[in-house]
Chains A and B, each alone.
Chain A
Amino acid sequence: NAGVMQNPRHLVRRRGQEARLRCSPMKGHSHVYWYRQLPEEGLKFMVYLQKENIIDESGMPKERFSAEFPKEGPSILRIQQVVRGDSAAYFCASSQDPFRGYTFGSGTRLTVV
């Protein structure tokens, strides 16, 4: 089991471009969470998905951000028309049972230039 796989590890985008971040959860995990970490800050919740459904998106900005977790394939966090303030590390975590434990990926570091 390769753990939670996130790619790319590093992503550079110019202002106005789209950023697409991928997260493949651990085998058997149907719960996926996305978090954002700004420099010197703690991780902030963005969205919680469970196979094809968005369960909680209370941490997602209302515009430009979207997430999906299709029946087949990885979870995708999409940021449209990126701005400098979107530069951060984005972490994905997956779980089989949220009350027991989560496994985090190594993150995608997005830099907007």
Chain B
Amino acid sequence: KNQVEQSPQSLIILEGKNCTLQCNYTVSPFSNLRWYKQDTGRGPVSLTIMTFSENTKSNGRYTATLDADTKQSSLHITASQLSDSASYICVVTYSGNTPLVFGKGTRLSVIA
């Protein structure tokens, strides 16, 4: 069964601190993995997209890693800001024009 599991479910950190979110997947055959940020009441916005051959990809203070052998990905946020408070969703695509498989997300709260 194609599944995407994320941890932790929720996380509270102080402004300026770093954090790492985890994603494990069982989607096969794997095409690509995406991290999205979803603010409350809004649609998801893409942060990174990684294919099988990519290990690391950065987008500003966001750095995503992918280990296709262990089927794990992480999203590292550096020097967190209050505006980083959102749900971060790991999404995996398998081959073909098939739909995205979404994780339930990690709810991040950055506090002053």
Contacts and interface: CB of A to CB of B under 8 A. Distances in A.
Interface stretch (B36-44, B58-66, B77-85): B36-44
Interface string A56-94: 100100000000000000000000000000000001010
Interface string B70-104: 00000000000000000001000100011111111
Interface of B: 4, 31-32, 36, 41-46, 49, 89, 93, 97-105
A6 B105 CA distance: 23
Q: How large is the interface on A (under 10, 10 to 19, 20 to 34, 35 or more residues)?
A: 20 to 34
Interface of A: 4, 6, 31, 33, 35, 40-45, 48, 55-56, 59, 91, 93, 98-107
Contact of A43 (B32, B44, B97): B44
Given A45-B99, A45-B102, 10 more contacts: A4-B43, A43-B100, A48-B97, A55-B97, A56-B99, A98-B97, A99-B31, A100-B49, A103-B46, A106-B41
